[in-house]
């Protein structure tokens, strides 16, 4: 199934975040019998025909979740900011919304509250963060989330169980699968990670000379989220240390080293 993307010409924030639409869709059948067999296989997947709006600014984290969703029979659209999510939701009503709490133009909690209290509320909301669950879960549930996902997502089964737990028709669906889905070494994840690193390098390259503390803080949160999703302990530590004297420079240097190493092939921990 192809990935279809569309971009707004003008980014909605000073951090250069474009409106991104990313979805999985079926191709025009060229072999009807093969398509029917494939459809039968998809119907046996526990999240068959579930549509997910993923609100997440990291391309690599989004790609990891897209792979989990595709393996489970679900389709994903991605919005990388609150602004983009609002545009999606004006024309599209997903079965499930996964909201990362740290977004470039505000807190994911605000979006969760809005969705849960709307005149036609969305009940299947999953809050997601790489921080320790005890520090955010209660607030996310109080805001209206029906469930929570902690980065890194432990396994394909953990992803499937969490999404099933918020679906009203979960009892009629197949049970989650025991098999695993390895993300390490996936070319699509590596390419997305390289894009995240290039974006962070560009932002930090402008923010450090200007002393732009807001953008530096955003980059630290962004890179910490990437590191948490992909199990990169060094990146997480550097991002968390960005609040200390000299920390932003250390973080920028790590990003530069990772991009340099990536020229010979990006490796995902």
Mean pLDDT estimate for the chain: 85
Output the pLDDT for position 257.
93
**pTM for this entry:** 0.81
CATH 3.40.50.2300 correct for 3-172: yes
Q: Is the pLDDT confidence value at 181 over 80? A: yes
- What are the tens digits of pLDDT across the range 25-73? 444 556 655 554 444 455 569 999 999 999 999 999 999 999 999 999 9
Q: Is the pLDDT confidence value at 177 over 90? A: no
- Where residue 185 falls (left for φ over 0; alpha for ψ -120 to 50; beta otherwise) is left
CB 42 within 8 Å of CB 26: no
- What are the tens digits of pLDDT across the range 141-157? 999 999 999 998 999 99
CB 192 within 8 Å of CB 265: no
Three-state DSSP string of the chain:
CCEEEEECCCCCCCCCCCCEEEEECCCCCCCHHHHHHHHHHHHCCCCCCCEEEEECCCHHHHHHHHHHHHHHCCEEEEECCHHHHHHHHHHCCCCEEEEECEECCEEHHHHHHHHHHCCCCCCCEEEEECCCHHHCHHHHHHHCCCEEEECCCCCHHHHHHHHHHCCCCHHHCCCCCCCCCCCCCCHHHHHHHHHHHHHHHHHHHHHHHHCCHHHHHHHHHHHHHHHHHHCCHHHHHHHHHHHCCCHHHHHHHHHHHHHHHHCCCCCCC
Output the pLDDT for position 183.
83
- What are the tens digits of pLDDT across the range 79-97? 999 999 999 999 999 999 9
């Amino acid at each position: 199934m192809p990935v279809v993307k569309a971009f707004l010409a003008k980014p909605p924030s000073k951090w250069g975040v474009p409106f991104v639409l990313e979805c999985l869709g079926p191709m025009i059948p060229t072999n009807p019998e093969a398509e029917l067999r494939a459809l039968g296989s998809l119907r046996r997947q526990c999240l068959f025909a579930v549509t997910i709006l993923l609100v997440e600014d990291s391309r690599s984290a989004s790609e990891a979740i897209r792979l989990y969703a595709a393996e489970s029979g679900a389709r994903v659209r991605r919005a990388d900011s609150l602004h983009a999510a609002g545009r999606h939701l004006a024309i599209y009503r997903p079965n499930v919304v996964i909201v990362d709490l740290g977004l470039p133009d505000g807190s994911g909690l605000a979006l969760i509250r809005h969705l849960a209290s709307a005149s036609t509320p969305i009940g299947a909301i999953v809050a997601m963060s790489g921080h320790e669950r005890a520090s955010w879960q209660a607030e996310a549930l109080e805001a209206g989330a029906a469930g929570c996902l902690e980065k890194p997502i432990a396994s394909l089964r953990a992803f499937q169980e969490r999404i099933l737990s918020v679906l009203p028709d979960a009892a009629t669906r197949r049970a989650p699968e025991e098999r695993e889905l390895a993300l390490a070494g996936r070319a699509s994840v590596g390419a997305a990670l390289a894009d995240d690193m290039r974006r962070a390098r560009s932002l930090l390259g402008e923010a450090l000379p200007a002393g732009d503390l807001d953008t530096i803080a955003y980059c630290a949160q962004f890179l910490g989220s990437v590191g948490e999703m992909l199990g990169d302990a060094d990146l997480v530590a550097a991002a968390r240390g960005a609040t200390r004297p000299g920390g932003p420079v250390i973080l920028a240097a790590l990003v530069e080293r990772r991009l340099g190493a990536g020229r010979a092939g990006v490796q995902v921990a």
